[in-house]
Amino acid sequence: MSAATTTAPAGPRPGLPWRSSLAVFLLMLMAAVAAWMLTPRLPPAPNGAEPLPRLEVAVPSVIGEWQLVPSLHEQVDLAVDGDGERLISQPYDQTLLRTYQNARGEQILLAVAYTRQQSQEVKVHRPEVCYTAVGFEVLSLDPARLDVAAAGTPPVDGMRMVARSVHHTEAVSYWIRMGSIYSQNAVDTRLHLLAEGLQGRLRDGALVRASRVIADPAEAPAAYPQVEGFLAEFAAALTPDARALLLL
């Protein structure tokens, strides 16, 4: 009868050699330092800096032939989640939703938002995303040079959009300012924010959106000049400090 073979119980596994442990620690430390260095930061506000202008005050109640009135239509919010609900944590420092009407009873819906700092995670919400989230179908979305800026200032590169819901159709013109550029698509936005972030900078941002309710999408080409004429008068009517928030 052969003797039973016994196997010695396995002892504790030796830990990493101290050199390997030190290398892992140094790599983790370097990664933490790199992450800290690449995190964008707002520069400290200078002593005596003027507070941001309040949009509620800076945007007048009369703009050209247009007068502030109660809205006949519920406006699409400036920041909504995927279910179309208003975000509890808003990415903006200031927002403004208004309706203006002329003597002929035509109405323009105005939406304005401003944020002091943006990142890849927190940034201006694009209107086409918000409209889609609340049930609109975006029928067209095209880049457009908006003739709304004052002479001697950079042209405004914005967007024109036609969006339709079960209730109504809107012809929308808007622009988004991201730091020192106008952004016409999400790729531009992400690349710009990435480049600024690598330089350790956080940039502010603004959205200005105006729209008119139309009976049929075919009316959009005729509606855009009126909407953008309103935006030109809006830009001209702003106080200088508010204009600096919303335009380049």
User: Which residues sit opposite 164 in a β-bridge?
Assistant: 137, 169
Q: Are 218 and 160 in contact (CB under 8 A)?
A: no
Q: Are 124 and 113 in contact (CB under 8 A)?
A: yes
Structure tokens at 123: 């940034």
User: Which residues sit opposite 114 in a β-bridge?
Assistant: 94, 206
- Residue 39: what are its φ and ψ, rounded to 5°? -75, 120
Alpha helical stretches, state H, 39-138: 55-58, 127-133
Q: Are 112 and 59 in contact (CB under 8 A)?
A: yes
CA dist 162 and 169 (Å) reads 7
Residue linked to tokens 């502030």:
68
| Run means of pLDDT, 10 residues per run, the chain, 248 residues | 51 59 69 49 46 92 97 83 60 93 97 80 80 97 93 89 98 95 87 79 89 98 98 95 93
Per-residue model confidence (pLDDT) at position 81: 59
Q: Are 196 and 203 in contact (CB under 8 A)?
A: yes
| Nearest alpha carbon to residue 144 among 202, 198, 73, 210 | 210
Per-residue model confidence (pLDDT) at position 44: 45
Q: Which residues contact 34 (CB under 8 A, 6 or more apart)?
A: none
Task: Round to the nearest angstrom and report the end-to-end CA distance of the chain.
Answer: 95
